Structure formats: structure tokens, C-alpha cells
Amino acid sequence: MAKMIRKQFYIKPAHERILKRRARELGVTEAELIRQSIEQVARSARPAPDPRVWRSIRRYIETHRMMKVPQTGRTWTRDELYEERIARLAR
């Protein structure tokens, strides 16, 4: 068995009730339930984002923001569509 380290901490009374109930339901000690909870949190923790990746993403976005995109020949604006829809619903 791995070496164990004793820890002492405070929990709220509601947490104690939950801990006791769940440990009883699962048939494990309260300490084991806490250890399992720590393991679950450790497994679900996301790694810190790599700053190099974020710089690469930012360069990609900046490059594509400056692209000249040909217009599709629309004859309407978003505001015009919105106003038309409001007018239709008001009838």
C-alpha cells in the first residue's frame, strides 16, 4: 500500500451529512470517498493552455481578419431584415 499522509480540514455540516450518506451508500469509508473525489478532480482537470498555441491561433485570426472577401451582391442589410420581420409580426 502507498504511503498515506494525514490531512485535517474543515467542512460544513451539510458536507458532513453528504459525505456520511454517500460513504454508507457506496460501502466505503469517508476517507476513501474523499480520496476518490480527489482522484476524480485530478482526472478531470484540464492542462494549462500552451501560450505558443494561443499565439499561433491569434496569428491565424489576425491574418484572416485582413482578407478581402468578395461581396455577394446582397441588396439588403441585416437591419432591414430585422425591421421587415418586426413589421410582419406587428400585423
pLDDT reading at 69 higher than 80: no
Average pLDDT over residues 43-53: 85
CA distance 30 to 65: 55
Average pLDDT over residues 21-49: 92
First to last CA, the chain: 76
Average pLDDT over residues 11-20: 96
Q: Is residue 16 part of a domain?
A: yes
Percent of the chain with pLDDT over 70: 99
Q: What is the mean pLDDT of the chain?
A: 90
pLDDT reading at 71 higher than 80: no
Domain encompassing residue 38 = 10-45
pTM for the model = 0.50
Q: Is residue 70 part of a domain?
A: no
Residue 34: CA atoms inside 13 Å, Cβ hemisphere, count?
A: 13
CA distance 11 to 82: 53
Q: Is residue 28 part of a domain?
A: yes
What is the number of domains present in the chain? Answer: 1
Average pLDDT over residues 43-72: 86
Q: Residue 30 has which C-alpha cell?
A: 469517508
CA distance 84 to 67: 31
Exposed, middle or buried: residue 36 (CB in 10 Å: 0-12, 13-18, 19+)?
Answer: middle
1: confidence class by pLDDT, cuts 50, 70, 90: low
The single residue listed with the C-alpha cell 467542512 is 11
Q: Is residue 36 part of a domain?
A: yes
